[in-house]
Amino acid sequence: MVVNEVADKLSAWLEAKLKESGTKSFIVGLSGGVDSAVVAGLCQRVRPNDTYGVIMPCHSNPDDAKYGRMVAEAFNIPVKEVVLDEVFDALVARLTDEPYEKNKQNLAFANIKPRLRMTTLYFYASKYKGLVVGTGNKAEITVGFYTKYGDGGCDLLPIANLVKAQVYELARYLGVPQPIIDKKPSAGLWHGHDDEEEMGVTYRELDRYILTGEAEPRVKRIVDQLHRQSEHKRHMPPIPPEF
Neighbours of 199 (CB within 10 A): 20
Tens digits of per-residue pLDDT, 10-42?
999 999 999 999 999 999 999 999 999 999 999
- Percentage above 70 pLDDT, the chain: 98
Instruction: Tell me whether residue 229 is in a domain.
Output: no
- Confidence tier at 190 by pLDDT (50, 70, 90): low
> Which domain covers residue 85, as residue numbers?
3-193
- Confidence tier at 107 by pLDDT (50, 70, 90): confident
| For residues 56-62, average pLDDT | 94
Instruction: Tell me whether residue 116 is in a domain.
Output: yes
Q: Do 117 and 32 touch, CB atoms closer than 8 A?
A: no
Distance (Å, rounded) from C-alpha 220 to C-alpha 146? 20
CATH classification at residue 37: 3.40.50.620
Instruction: Tell me whether residue 209 is in a domain.
Output: no
Tens digits of per-residue pLDDT, 148-176?
999 999 999 999 999 999 999 999 999 99
Mean pLDDT, the chain, whole residue set: 94
Distance (Å, rounded) from C-alpha 28 to C-alpha 38? 10
Instruction: Tell me whether residue 39 is in a domain.
Output: yes
* Count of domains forming the chain: 1
Tens digits of per-residue pLDDT, 80-100?
999 999 999 999 999 998 888
Instruction: Tell me whether residue 222 is in a domain.
Output: no
